[in-house]
Structure 1
């Protein structure tokens, strides 16, 4: 028979979920993010980040966007957004481990490339972008 182990508050197992609460949906917050946030590019991705001292329940909220100008077909845009969300979901533990000390971090990840890149490239660039956010 297997043994049951309990996790203390300090050693929680990694959560690979990406619930609706972690998605940035508020129009006011999105406008504030693009007005006041700082940005950097890791081609084909652009990261816009805003750190606010007010704490909220999810310490990180994220927005994913692909330009309609470069990808006319919704199928292509939706596939790229799905790949970006999946890459974030697999690597978000990097941000979770480095808590924001009671503040909230808002992040927009924009796809600025003009061609479709494979998932490996998107995953690699998104991971290095998240690591750059922490440094």
Structure 2
């Protein structure tokens, strides 16, 4: 089953349900792809979207909302442009995933840094999901 993936990020692909967010933080796995901390949880691929995301920037790191929103915008844009990698990954491993990107850096990161972290996240998830199948 090959899905065509548009370079958009509609509301349906963003995590907003409290239950799914609570489940993600309680039973999800995490790793660091600096300057981001990634928390993810596998779920059944019974419904679309295959990948749901959420971006979090702690107030402790950036006091000003303008800066927090800037970082969130950068992360969403980097994910949106590389979204096809995550969808192919889910198809390859026959699963669906929920992902939270949490910013760890105290200074404003630039786009290249964020995009590099997103690409590293895709490769790390590929190896982790592949290891989960073999067990």
- Name the residue aligned to 1:41: 32
- Name the residue aligned to 1:90: 81
TM-score by length of 2: 0.86
Report the CA distance between 1:10 and its aligned residue. Answer: 4.8
Ranges in structure 2 where 5+ consecutive residues have no aligned partner: 128-135
Higher helix proportion: 2
After TM superposition, the structure 1 = structure 2 runs for residues 5-24 of structure 1, keeping only pairs within 5 Å, are 10=2, 12=4, 14-24=5-15
TM-score by length of 1: 0.86
- Name the residue aligned to 1:115: 107
**Residues 59 and 43 (structure 1), Cα distance of their counterparts in 2 relative to 1, 3 Å cut:** same
Max radius of gyration: which structure?
A: 1
Ranges in structure 1 where 5+ consecutive residues have no aligned partner: 1-8
The CA distance in 1 between the partners of 2:45 and 2:88, in whole Å, is: 19
Q: What is the RMSD computed on CA atoms of the aligned residues?
A: 1.6
